[in-house]
Amino acid sequence: MTEELRTLYPPIEPFATRFLEVGGGHRLYVEEAGDPDGIPVVFLHGGPGGGLAPFTRRFFDPARYRIVLFDQRGSGRSTPAGSLHDNTTWHLVDDIEVIREALGIAAWLVFGGSWGSTLALAYAETHPDRVTGLVLRGVFLVRAAERRWVYQDGLDRIQPEEWARFVAPIPEPERDDILAAYHRRLTGADLDEARRCADAWMRWEAIISSLVPNPDILATLTADDAVLESSRILAHYAVNGGFFEPETRLLDDVDRIRHLPCVIVQGRYDLCCPPVTAHDLARLWPEADLRIVGDAGHSSLEPGITHELITATDGFAAKLS
């Protein structure tokens, strides 16, 4: 008998929202949903620069979890929008601690997908005593090979038509380093050119974010009011390798968190975060529960991915109650 797939919990609204000053002129939007006395969990959104969407509250049983969500620096409702000043992985790690302390939480479950998985690992390895467990989806470690696959030499063979659209704003002589060429334009003074490049960049991100191109993801990632800010932050982190030195830092430090329970959910046909990265992490973390979804790509909204994420958070709720 085929197992019935789990789906998102019903829509909910936050029971509290606030803005927190975190230094460098940055002000973060923070919200809480679910049970104020429930199991603390922090949701780390993707991108970087992606911001929150209301559906992300729905990966957790609202009767059992105190769900904390926030827009990372420069993202979503956090201000200043699109700012690259004092905006690195390590600033974000510090921000998570500021939020935890402000909310009076001793330790929490950490949930992150795509870039959120990167940030979750960086945070947990820095503050393992503040983490009760991890749920990771579509693992991304920002290594050079991963960036080349997405932005230089790899996905062009799988999505050739969309690749042609992606590279079209970049002159032929600069296509030996497309990421750097985009970064120059997205952060340059010519705002018209920056916007044209932002549209092309975010369309590419949307196309590779699910097994079958999803119109809803395309509409969200290319929304007029966020496309330039999001693409600037994405390019900023990508061109700087996620600010990891060495690039294998997250793998090198995995022993700091091997005692923590972890579920890794990975789509077999994830285009932007291929399974080899999750495999590399699981090989060094054999205690982690790696769940490969055979008929899925990258998006957390693909049915098999959603099922495994909900199964994971329900499982942690039972363990942590």
Is 45 a residue of the active site?
A: no
Choosing from 114, 117, 209, 300, the catalytic residue is 114
Residues constituting the chain: 321
Active site residue 299: no
> Is the bond preceding 246 in cis, omega lying within 30 degrees of 0?
yes
Please state, in angstroms and rounded to a whole number, the distance separating the CA atoms of residues 82 and 87.
10
Containing 265, the helix (H) or strand (E) segment is: strand 262-267
Q: Is 260 helix (H, G, I), strand (E, B) or coil?
A: coil
Task: Specify whether the CB–CB gap between 234 and 206 falls below 8 A.
Answer: no
DSSP annotation of 79: B
> Would you call 289 a catalytic residue per the annotation?
no
Q: Which two tokens mark 104?
A: 């009076």
Which residue bears the tokens 């997908």? Answer: 113
Query: Catalytic pick from 270, 299, 300, 307?
Result: 270
Catalytic residue among 75, 298, 300, 307: 298
Instruction: Determine the angle formed by the axes of helices 227-239 and 178-186, rounding to 10 degrees.
Output: 130
Active-site residue list: 114, 270, 298
